[in-house]
Amino acid sequence: MGPGIAQVAAAAGFDVVMRDINAEAVARGVQAIERNLEKGVQRGKITEHELRETLQRVRGTVALEDIREVDLVIEAAPENLDLKKILLRETESTVNRDFIFATNTSSLSISEIASASRRPGNVVGMHFFNPVPIMKLLEIVVGKETSKDTEATALEVARRMKKEPIVVRDAPGFASSRLGVTLGLEAMRMLEQGVASARDIDTAMELGYNHPVGPLRLTDLVGLDVRLNIAEYLHGALGSETFRPPEILRRMVREGKLGKKSGEGFYKWNELEPAQRAYTI
């Protein structure tokens, strides 16, 4: 998701430093941005000039020191609370100014992440949705100590990125994940019970309820491992059986079927045709 966030930030006119853990990951991120922008040109959404300008605003790096002069950090690391706290502490030790730390977590507590900060008022949630350049929603999550100035800046950035922001308080799953995970897990249970194929379950939501992407295909885009982590967290935090991960999800993650990033999840994926065959049991 990081490259998508970097793309919309650069397209909004921000100078972006996109940092990842190794050079290969950085290169993949830059290539993903290039491909997305090229598709935008082909579809008449942007011009060649806008493509070049956007790419010029993105600088890839593996060096944490390269973020030293930034005003806003948006982290998009995996859904691991300890990892996000480590990144927050490392960032505060690196950046030279009074900056905002925005976490792209889809379910973890903003207040708990902010507990690792020397300036918890500067910590906020900015939860983007896949695919980031297309999805309009941006969930601004306010922790117990998030300042009004930080909230206002996050809203201003969201609108400059041409997103539609909503503000929610720091509660397990916020608004979107709590609802979205519920739908996704029930779709998995329906597949597990043989109610319908993955494709037909998705079609029911896309055509019957006007969802742009069905819940199982969306799970493939998000990553089955990510969905599993979120479901386990919400099940523990809320104590509701609604969020208990179904066995089909656990089994597919064990088998390495993580969705688009692994080439197979509820769908078979390749570069030419996004969804070749719906997963059936």
Q: Which residue has the higher pLDDT, 173 or 31?
A: 31
Please report the pLDDT score of residue 281 as a whole number. 44
Query: What is the per-residue pLDDT across 137-151, written as a single tens digit (0 to 9) for each?
Result: 999 999 999 999 999
Q: In this structure, what token pair is assigned to residue 11?
A: 């397209």
What is the CATH superfamily name and number for domain 176-262? N-(1-d-carboxylethyl)-l-norvaline Dehydrogenase; domain 2 (1.10.1040.10)
Grade residue 130 by pLDDT with cuts at 50, 70 and 90.
confident
Please report the pLDDT score of residue 131 as a whole number. 84
Distance of CA 56 to the CA centre of its chain: 23
Distance of CA 226 to the CA centre of its chain: 10
DSSP class per residue in 93-114? HH--S--EEEE--SSS-HHHHH
Query: What is the per-residue pLDDT across 34-76, written as a single tens digit (0 to 9) for each?
Result: 999 999 999 999 999 999 999 999 999 999 999 999 999 999 9
Query: What is the per-residue pLDDT across 74-124, written as a single tens digit (0 to 9) for each?
Result: 999 988 999 999 999 999 999 989 999 999 998 899 999 999 999 999 999
* Rounded-to-integer distance, Cα 190 and Cα 138, Å: 29
* Rounded-to-integer distance, Cα 30 and Cα 46, Å: 18
Side chain identity at 152, as an amino acid letter?
A: A
Share of the chain above pLDDT 70, in %: 96
Burial class (CB in 10 A: 0-12, 13-18, 19+), 270: exposed
Cis amide linkage into residue 215, ω under 30° from 0 = no
Please report the pLDDT score of residue 79 as a whole number. 87
Please report the pLDDT score of residue 274 as a whole number. 43
Query: What is the per-residue pLDDT across 151-168, written as a single tens digit (0 to 9) for each?
Result: 999 999 999 999 999 999
Side chain identity at 261, as an amino acid letter?
A: K
Query: What is the per-residue pLDDT across 255-267, written as a single tens digit (0 to 9) for each?
Result: 999 999 999 999 9
| Mean pLDDT score of the chain | 94
Whose tokens are 């969930």? That residue is 139
Domain ranges in the chain?
A: 2-169, 176-262
* Rounded-to-integer distance, Cα 187 and Cα 210, Å: 16
CATH number of the 2-169 domain: 3.40.50.720
C-alpha pair distances (Å), 103 with each of 113, 139, 169, 265: 9, 11, 14, 26
Task: Examine the pLDDT at 278 and tell me if it is beyond 70.
Answer: no
Q: In this structure, what token pair is assigned to residue 131?
A: 């695919």
Helix 198-208 / helix 215-222 crossing angle, nearest 10 deg: 110
Grade residue 276 by pLDDT with cuts at 50, 70 and 90.
very low
Angle at CA 34, nearest 5°, toward 154 and 202?
75
Grade residue 251 by pLDDT with cuts at 50, 70 and 90.
very high
Window from 78-82, 246-250, 273-277 with minimum mean pLDDT: 273-277
